[in-house]
Amino acid sequence: MYIPRLVLGSILYFFPHVVAERQAKQRPNIILIVADDLGWNDVSFHGSQQIPTPNIDRLARQGIILNNYYVTPICTPSRSSLLTGKYPIHLGTQHNVLNGVEPWGLGLEEITLPQYLKKGGYVNHIVGKWHLGFFSENYLPTNRGFDSHFGYWLGHSDYFDHSGQEWGDWGLDLRNNLDVVRNLTGRYATDLFTKRAERIIHTHNTSTPLFLYLAHLAVHSANEYDPLQTTKRYYDRFPHIKHEGRRLFAGMVAGLDESVGRVYRSLKDRGMDKNSVIVFTTDNGGPAASFDYNYANNWPLRGVKDTLWEGGVRGSAFIWSPLLKNTGRVSTQLMHISDWLPTILSAAELNDVITRADINNPIDGIDQWSALSENTPSARTEVLLNIDHDRNVYALRVKNYKIILGTTYNGDWDNWYPPEGTNITYASMKQAPAAVKCAPPLNPGTPQSCMPLKGPCLFDLANDPCEYHNLADQQPEVLQRMLDRLTIYNTTVVPPRNQPPDPAGKPERHGYVWAPWK
């Protein structure tokens, strides 16, 4: 067919512009990186230079550091909230983590983030930790919206032999989709997961958007007989840390930080960084001072992992993207881990795939994309931190006030824990833009004003983020309003999904491999 030269020239002129327009409108790549058990004081953008995290810091400072961002106190609740946009009390995951021989998981009626993203043409990959159920294959990540999974199903694993130990049960826990991986013994888990993430990025067909959920083992402790594991290359970077446990932990953080840098460079090598959103978050506060055989740190915040103090629930997080308009700052707007689902869908222009008014699937998360990008006030004014009837613990933040009633472990982990192995001072830390500014602590010998096992405690976190000064007696009207809000939430709690152990799930019955059994 003959095409006149003038017409042909017009086609050739407009064709690149049409292609460019389509590329510009392509949905962004979503890279969701979850660090496991990373404490507030384990990233140097919060002010401590004991463990430098240059790759994490670089993206955090170029993007938006989230300083009033909340997670849940332990893992399974946080991951369920992250992937559904719901509070754990509305999922039945509010009580405890999922143990390997327990026949339960994230409810099959729940719609997950990758399932929503599928509606926008995304290719979805998970690398690393799942921890939302595997007793039946229906609960596996590749049946919950992900196209592939390379990683493990339990809550933790050995970094080198990839086995998982829970309550005396031991078995291999490394999978490539459903296939057991037996030939990678001796390969460091953080590096393995990073290399898989790099491979996914380098082989991705850029005509479709990518969702990569990189859920690291780092920096969770490994099996209890050898809990803190790093490589010599990372360990040797920290001769200044004189505490052996903290030094090993620092090596684990260094591996995590290097991973973040490698993932970003892979995106940049493919030109994918220009249309990507990178979210970095911990799943809960750090297990400090040997809690859970670990030496993470949340100082100067109070408490540790699995407590409702700020050290257990205020998370280290940032968001980075060229698509954000107002970056290079520290955000103090209130945000919860459940907000990522609607926020990511908004960034992907998929707001219409979820309807908040749907009474069959209401979410608790709030779309924060515009508020973050434009630096405008967030629609979120309160965060439910948890309600757990079985442990009799409750906590809620409304604007600047926080109420906490009850505590875990009989109060044994309710204190403030400086980092081991160095003489870092709070005065040196608090100069950082993202540092917490504590109120003066209680004077030595002053009676503790907050006894949450006896009555509710009230804190003004704007002026006292380190939870030194209980205002319950001084502000009874505020306290009552907070109690009233907790009462309303309490009417919406669903029963925990936790189930007693099932001997059929023991790995010894499956060739010493953790495997589905129903």
pLDDT 10s digits, 264-282? 999 999 999 999 999 999 9
Q: Is the pLDDT of residue 13 over 80?
A: no
**The pLDDT of residue 447:** 65
Q: Taking residues 405-428, report their average pLDDT.
A: 85
Report DSSP letters for 205-231, one per residue: -TTS-EEEEEE--TTS---TTS-----
Q: How confident is the model at residue 201 (pLDDT cuts 50, 70, 90)?
A: very high
- % of the chain residues with pLDDT over 90: 87
Chain center to CA of 87: 14
Q: Is the pLDDT of residue 152 over 70?
A: yes
Q: Cα–Cα distance between 370 and 257 in angstroms, integer?
A: 28
**The pLDDT of residue 352:** 87
11 in a structural domain? no
430 and 319 co-located in one domain: no
Listed in order, strand segments (DSSP E) in 223-324 are 276-282, 317-320
Q: What is the pLDDT of residues 20-44, one digit of tens each?
A: 333 447 999 999 999 999 999 999 9
The number of C-alpha atoms within 13 Å of 483 and in the hemisphere containing its C-beta is 12
57 and 127 co-located in one domain: yes
197 and 228 co-located in one domain: yes
**The pLDDT of residue 427:** 57
374 and 460 co-located in one domain: no
411 and 367 co-located in one domain: no
- pTM assigned to the model: 0.94
436 and 412 co-located in one domain: yes
CATH number where 460 lies: 3.30.1120
CB within 8 A of 394, min separation 6: which ones? Answer: 308, 386, 387, 388, 403, 404, 405, 406, 486, 490
5 in a structural domain? no
Residues that are catalytic: 75, 131
Burial class (CB in 10 A: 0-12, 13-18, 19+), 45: buried
301 and 286 co-located in one domain: yes
Torsions phi, psi for 264 (to 5 deg): -65, -45
DSSP state of 473: T
Please, which contacts does 129-132 make with residues 24 or more away whose CB atoms are closer than 8 Å? 129/34, 129/36, 129/79, 129/155, 129/215, 129/216, 129/217, 130/215, 131/75, 131/76, 131/79, 131/97, 131/98, 131/155, 132/76, 132/79, 132/80, 132/83, 132/98, 132/105, 132/106
Count of residues making up the chain: 518
Q: How confident is the model at residue 449 (pLDDT cuts 50, 70, 90)?
A: confident
**3-class state of residue 414 by DSSP:** coil
Q: What is the pLDDT of residues 156-167, one digit of tens each?
A: 999 999 999 998
CB 292, CB 73: distance < 8 Å = no
Q: Cα–Cα distance between 479 and 12 in angstroms, integer?
A: 69
**The pLDDT of residue 12:** 44
Q: How confident is the model at residue 358 (pLDDT cuts 50, 70, 90)?
A: low
Closest CA to 336 of 404, 284, 405, 389: 284
Q: Is the pLDDT of residue 15 over 80?
A: no
486 and 501 co-located in one domain: no
CB 316, CB 39: distance < 8 Å = yes
Q: How confident is the model at residue 422 (pLDDT cuts 50, 70, 90)?
A: confident
DSSP state of 160: T
94 and 224 co-located in one domain: yes
Q: Cα–Cα distance between 392 and 132 in angstroms, integer?
A: 24
Q: Is the pLDDT of residue 441 over 90?
A: no
Q: How confident is the model at residue 6 (pLDDT cuts 50, 70, 90)?
A: very low
Q: Is the pLDDT of residue 1 over 90?
A: no
Q: Is the pLDDT of residue 473 over 70?
A: yes
Which residue range forms the structural domain that includes residue 343? 27-380+495-510
6 in a structural domain? no
304 and 333 co-located in one domain: yes
**The pLDDT of residue 483:** 98
Q: Cα–Cα distance between 401 and 405 in angstroms, integer?
A: 13
CB 515, CB 507: distance < 8 Å = yes
Q: Edge to edge, what strands does the sheet with 382-388 contain?
A: 382-388, 393-398, 401-405, 457-460
267 in a structural domain? yes
Q: Cα–Cα distance between 85 and 91 in angstroms, integer?
A: 10
DSSP state of 287: -
Q: How confident is the model at residue 170 (pLDDT cuts 50, 70, 90)?
A: very high
93 and 195 co-located in one domain: yes
Q: Taking residues 238-257, report their average pLDDT.
A: 98
Q: How confident is the model at residue 196 (pLDDT cuts 50, 70, 90)?
A: very high
Q: Which residues pair with 182 in a beta bridge?
A: none
Which of 128-142, 314-328, 356-370 is least confident? 356-370
CB 275, CB 29: distance < 8 Å = yes
CB 201, CB 272: distance < 8 Å = yes
Q: Which tokens is 122 given?
A: 């995304």
Q: What share of the chain is helix, strand, coil (3-state, %, to 5)?
A: 30, 15, 50
Total number of domains in the chain:
2
pLDDT, averaged across the chain:
93
Q: Is the pLDDT of residue 178 over 50?
A: yes
358 in a structural domain? yes
Tokens 């099932």 found at: 502
Which of 302-311, 432-441, 442-451, 486-495 is least confident? 442-451
Report DSSP letters for 16-69, one per residue: HHHHHHHHHHSPPEEEEEEESS--GGGSGGGT--SS--HHHHHHHHHSEEETTE
263 in a structural domain? yes
Q: Cα–Cα distance between 71 and 82 in angstroms, integer?
A: 9
364 and 253 co-located in one domain: yes
135 in a structural domain? yes
CATH number where 302 lies: 3.40.720.10
Q: Taking residues 96-125, report their average pLDDT.
A: 97
Q: Cα–Cα distance between 413 and 416 in angstroms, integer?
A: 9
**The pLDDT of residue 302:** 97
2 in a structural domain? no
